[in-house]
Amino acid sequence: MTALIDLGEFGPGFTEDPHPVYAKLRALGPVHRVRLPPPVDHHETWLVVGYEEARAALADPRLSKDGKKIGLSFLDEGLIGTYLLTADPPEHTRLRGLVSREFTPRRVEALRPRIQQITNDLLDAVLPLGRADLVDSFAYPLPLTVICELLGVPELDRAAFRAISTEAVAPTNQESEYAAFVQLAAYLTDLIEDKRCSPPADDLLSSLIRTTAEDGDRLSPEELRGMAFVLLIAGHETTVNLIAGGVHALLTHPAQLAALRADMTLIDGAIEEMLRYEGPVENATFRYAAEPLDIGGTTVEAGEAVMIGLTAADRDARRYPDPDRFDIRRDARGHVGFGHGIHYCLGAPLARAEASVALRTLLDRCPDLALDGPPSGWLPGMLMRGVRHLPVRW
């Protein structure tokens, strides 16, 4: 019988720094039966912590993202509708195909000048102050502004929207999570209806409303809401944490920061190492065994939940020697920071573009950037990896 490991027993320190726990688990084996810590009380799942096993599981069609296939129903699907992260082929193939027609690399590349302008404007506002919370003043508003403009979302009350979106991906309790999804569903429903009744625009959401495949297929109102949800929420929450986490990694590794400042052609490799070393998504969303299968020598029975540890896998010494060392010259290719397989992050090119512009400009304009205290407010739960506050000075 497989021993059950209660992750809640590791206390608050596990949220702040889960890496030592994942290292202990990897030393014992690549797959473990665990009980998740609060706010997901008493939920048991298989947790994959080995790199090769995680990469294989991410691409295994026997692990379904659609809980309905085994009789499960979920809060987000009930309120938002089916979306890419909760669909399997052929439904997933269809949905991704429709959005990929409009969310193209060319559209992302065309955003670079606007990303640069938003970055400059944010730094213009904050640099005279000499110090700031990097999350509040820069890492949060940059990707939120970009994704809202890309989708054609009117300027939001950022403080209110931040509270709702963060609660959806890193809930403090089930009641607040439910309230966040209710608010998001109502907002997105009204937004889509407003766009449908307005003159055609060239933003991504308007394009998705109009887009039609060769066979005449198009997104239903519920599918549009689900697509808007995943693009709006995942499209900024992950990038906030990538920028803030990347800056924190650089500021706590002075030799690496100096190397990057001396040679900014290292920026793209540095971003890949940031994704490997402290990626913004700690664990992939649940998968469910559609049939019995073997993962790393462990038998997972049909219907059982599986959580794939992206953070844990990317610190596996079998794949990345000396994995706890942050090294911007490391060949970090193959990391699973954006997932792997058919569910590989649709917004990865946009996140990389935003991080590249943001970090390059921040380091250029703040030559003496330094921490102004410890980061605080580590996001609860096991989905997102990031902090609410990162004080810096210059």
pLDDT digits (tens, 9 = 90+) for 180-203: 888 888 888 888 888 888 888 888
- Write phi, then psi, for 233 (nearest 5 degrees): -80, -55
Give yes or no for residue 67 having a pLDDT over 70: yes
Own/partner pairs, 99-106, CB within 8 angstroms, 24+ separation: 99/208, 99/227, 99/231, 99/346, 100/346, 101/211, 101/213, 102/204, 102/207, 102/208, 102/211, 103/204, 103/231, 103/346, 103/347, 105/349
Give yes or no for residue 392 having a pLDDT over 70: yes
**Rounded to two decimals, what is the model's pTM?**
0.93
Look at residue 1 in the predicted model and tell me its pLDDT: 57
Q: Where are the domains of the chain?
A: 4-393
CA 131 to chain CA centroid, Å, is: 27
Pick the CATH number of 4-393 from 2.30.33.40, 3.40.50.12780, 1.10.630.10, 1.20.1540.10: 1.10.630.10
- Write phi, then psi, for 392 (nearest 5 degrees): -135, 160
Q: Is 394 helix (H, G, I), strand (E, B) or coil?
A: coil
Residues above pLDDT 90, as percent of the chain: 64
What residues contact residue 9 under an 8 Å CB cut-off, 6+ apart?
none
Token representation of residue 389:
């506050």
Q: Mean pLDDT in the chain?
A: 91
Please, what is the Cα angle at 318 between 316 and 320, to 5 degrees?
Answer: 65
Residues above pLDDT 70, as percent of the chain: 95
Q: How buried is residue 143: exposed, middle or buried, by Cβ count under 10 Å (0-12/13-18/19+)?
A: buried
Q: pLDDT tens-digit profile of 288-339?
A: 999 999 999 999 999 999 999 999 999 999 999 999 999 999 999 999 999 9
